[in-house]
Amino acid sequence: MASTYTPLGVELMATGENAGTWGTKTNANLSLVSQLTGGFAQVSIAGGAQTTALDVDDGALTGTAQQRMIEFTGSITGNQIVTIPNDVETFYILKNSTSGAYTVQFKYATGSGSSTTFSTTDKGTKIVYASANDGTNPDIVDVMANSSEIAVTNSNPIKFQDADNSAFVGIDAPATVSGSYTLTLPAAVGSTSQALVTTDGSGTLGFTSTSSFGITTGKAIAMAIVFG
């Protein structure tokens, strides 16, 4: 009985097969397992709109889908699709280092399962898992996009980058907080001349007309003239 292979290319040797080559094949398997758990590769997807298929090479280290971390590179001039085989079950750290304002979608080779997409301005990193949950329509899940909670420690800010990532707007906690609290955003958007204020003592926010503060537009202008 000949050897078989896992969906990620690890050789499963049959009893009584490969006499005299077990050492070589076992070392090859261990090297592949090491790559699958911590390997890094840069994959160029340069060019116009196209689909780039990441492959699995049985028993070898050359498959582009057989890495833990994959960085997409190259100048793209059209929306890109990057695929993996439908039976691959693993997780990936993906970085979009392409240049060009086009999307990069990561999905299974076929089917209508979920996928994840870097927007035209997203040159960041995603952590995704390939579930292989359906032979026909398997799903790719973006871990951070569906995270139930994110905790940023050491009073570090959450940063919102601008379009070219040259500057950001950050929000962080003060160095010392007397007691934990959560600010809850309003359920609907406000209207013109409304401000975001707390509506109770539990951190619930809501939109309130600025006229309720006793400062009309005319008074605000007058105060600005007097006080600068």
Give pLDDT tens digits for 30-69. 999 999 999 999 999 999 999 999 999 999 999 999 999 9
pLDDT of residue 31: 97
Judge whether residue 153 has pLDDT over 90. Answer: no
Query: Which residue type is seen at 5?
Result: Y
> What value does the mean pLDDT take over residues 91-101?
97
Reading the block at residue 46, the tokens are 């340069």
pLDDT of residue 228: 58
Judge whether residue 219 has pLDDT over 90. Answer: no
H/E run at residue 220:
helix 217-227
pLDDT of residue 74: 98
Average pLDDT of every residue of the chain: 91
Judge whether residue 216 has pLDDT over 70. Answer: no
Beta strand residue intervals within 37-172, DSSP E: 40-44, 50-53, 69-73, 80-84, 90-96, 104-108, 116-118, 125-130, 140-142, 158-161, 168-171
Nearest residue to 36 (alpha-carbon basis) of 15, 57, 50, 13: 57
Per cent of the chain over pLDDT 70 is: 93
pLDDT of residue 101: 95
Judge whether residue 16 has pLDDT over 90. Answer: no
Dihedral Cα 50, 51, 53, 54, nearest 10 deg? 80
Q: What is the pLDDT of residues 111-150, one digit of tens each?
A: 999 999 999 999 999 999 999 999 999 999 999 887 778 8
Assign 76 to helix, strand or coil. strand
Contact 139, 131 (CB under 8 A): yes
Residue 83, C-beta contacts closer than 8 angstroms, at least 6 positions apart: 51, 52, 53, 54, 106, 107, 108, 109
pLDDT category at 163 given cuts 50, 70, 90 is confident
pLDDT of residue 212: 78
Assign 77 to helix, strand or coil. coil
pLDDT of residue 214: 65
Judge whether residue 207 has pLDDT over 80. Answer: yes
Reading the block at residue 190, the tokens are 């406000």
CA angle 213, 205, 167 (to 5 degrees): 100
Judge whether residue 95 has pLDDT over 90. Answer: yes
